Structure 1
């Protein structure tokens, strides 16, 4: 506190005494939080003292199956401990690569099954969009039929039948529309099932994985050019 006395500024300091306060640091004294390794595992994941790593979906993958001569890997599992810091080998980037390989192999095997009586294993994620009905497992045939009905269902069924002939302009427009649908259907068959495997994963995770893949490819291209 600063007090003014006469022509001089006199600084007076006042000291107050308080009673002692007890401070308590909560840690292992109140509850058993486990050993140092167990506490580290809760924070950093289970990669201590030989524990199996879980940062890559490739570690968790099961056995592959040979279907129509094509070795099809099992569906990859999502990684569980991404740090979201842009690692060189990001676990979501690895998952995205494994997912793309899984889809391509499933599609290749389903194409080779066409014209045969071989049935895709029911417990191995059958690609119903690519399989013919004869290659679909028995318990999934009704689902396959429902998918085909949804594809073939048009808007014409929503309106009552027309009385009389259609104008020529409408007929030409319907022909063009039919050709466009056939072209779009052929393109859809050639493209992999992009959304499968990302159903329960947030969109930003998928965007992050694709961005990391593009960034890695850009680095490789730069190294090759340099």
Structure 2
């Protein structure tokens, strides 16, 4: 009886430990790291992920036997940056194809095969993996049914530029976002053009000219 009880306790401990481990949050490595984990929806002979930064191409990942392709002068970006974009060149049934926008990227990814692809699909809906704030907007955990992604989103395009973070539940069966939980604002960004920038308001207050008319006038001596 004691041996059976011990086995039950051990089994319960292992199950609880597995559940806790499976729900431990993992941080996404980087934007290129996400894209390198893609598994193309259709059968391709070769594909290459290229990052163009300030007009210079860098091949981030090559899958299959490399073939010649035409460099592209525009592409997609799942985290907007100036002077930077990604594109994909691929060969299917002997024909070259190119992914240069988010709609084509969604088609290229197709079925969601892993957490990284779930995040890529979410970015097409306007969410972002915020590499600077991975604790709140760049991590995930999963169970047997869903991926649970903590991602960010720019919620204000006026000053201040505001970011909120969300927990998205993505179905492993369909790849669809089934629920979205709003976790609130995690950062507000001001720049020099923001009239309501607190720092600028403080500077303006310091530089406010003094009213000369309020200065006390000196007394005049009688002769």
TM-score normalised according to structure 1 size: 0.23
Higher helix share: 1
Larger Rg belongs to? 1
Higher strand share: 2
TM-score normalised according to structure 2 size: 0.24
